[in-house]
């Protein structure tokens, strides 16, 4: 019995041995930036821009879809834009807000959500090398969903990409 206890203790001691590997992980310097995009706008007179790695484009097929979503986030304060609209044929389209089946919103740094109540979103798409690219511009009035605050958005421009 003592022998079994000694074997068990030795097993636990060696199994719980402290890791002496102090290597710091090396950051990935070969990150693929080919799908990075950009988005910028002027919000109530102040320049806003997203982090290039946080500009995304997704196509989802649900409800009466498919729908295209273009989103962008600024990491510094987690503010973001999100545009949702029906997929379209052809190379470009303009969506005037308010628009049925479309959604355009800005979420501020305090997480307050503003919906585009009037304005427009222009979208142009192209395909090259297996990448679909959406470019365009936007402007309008965005109203708070919790109070009467309005954000005036102007000079909005973006490029968003997705793999086909």
Residue 13 lies in a domain: no
What are 22-58's pLDDT values in tens digits?
A: 444 444 445 678 899 999 999 999 999 999 999 999 9
Output the pLDDT for position 30. 52
Residue 49 lies in a domain: yes
3-state secondary structure of 14: helix
Output the pLDDT for position 56. 95
Residue 26 lies in a domain: no
Contact 57, 162 (CB under 8 A): yes
**Average pLDDT score over the chain:** 85
Residue 6 lies in a domain: no
Q: Which residue has the higher pLDDT, 87 or 5?
A: 87
Output the pLDDT for position 64. 86
Residue 135 lies in a domain: yes
Output the pLDDT for position 33. 84
Q: Which residue has the higher pLDDT, 25 or 149?
A: 149
Number of domains making up the chain = 1
What are 101-127's pLDDT values in tens digits?
A: 999 999 999 999 999 999 999 999 999
Residue 11 lies in a domain: no
Residue 10 pLDDT > 70: no
Residue 105 lies in a domain: yes
48: containing domain: 35-163
Burial of 141 (0-12, 13-18, 19+ CB in 10 A): middle
Residue 15 lies in a domain: no
Output the pLDDT for position 62. 83
Output the pLDDT for position 152. 98
3-state secondary structure of 20: coil
Give the count of alpha carbons within 13 A of 16, CB side only. 6
């Amino acid at each position: 019995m003592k022998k079994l206890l000694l074997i068990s203790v030795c097993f636990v001691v060696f199994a719980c041995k402290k890791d002496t590997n102090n290597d710091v992980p090396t950051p990935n310097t070969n990150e693929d930036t080919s799908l990075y995009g950009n988005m910028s706008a002027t919000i109530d007179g102040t320049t806003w821009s997203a982090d290039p790695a946080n500009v995304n484009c997704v196509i989802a097929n649900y409800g009466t879809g498919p729908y295209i979503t273009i989103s962008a986030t600024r990491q510094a304060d987690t503010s973001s834009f999100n545009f949702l609209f029906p997929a379209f044929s052809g190379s470009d389209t303009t969506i005037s807000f308010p628009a049925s089946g479309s959604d355009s919103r800005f979420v501020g740094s305090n997480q307050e959500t503003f919906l585009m109540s009037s304005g427009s979103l222009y979208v142009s798409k192209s395909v090259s090398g297996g990448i679909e690219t959406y470019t365009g511009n936007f402007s309008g009035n965005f109203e708070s969903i919790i109070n009467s605050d309005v954000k005036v958005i102007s000079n909005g421009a973006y490029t968003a990409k997705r793999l086909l």
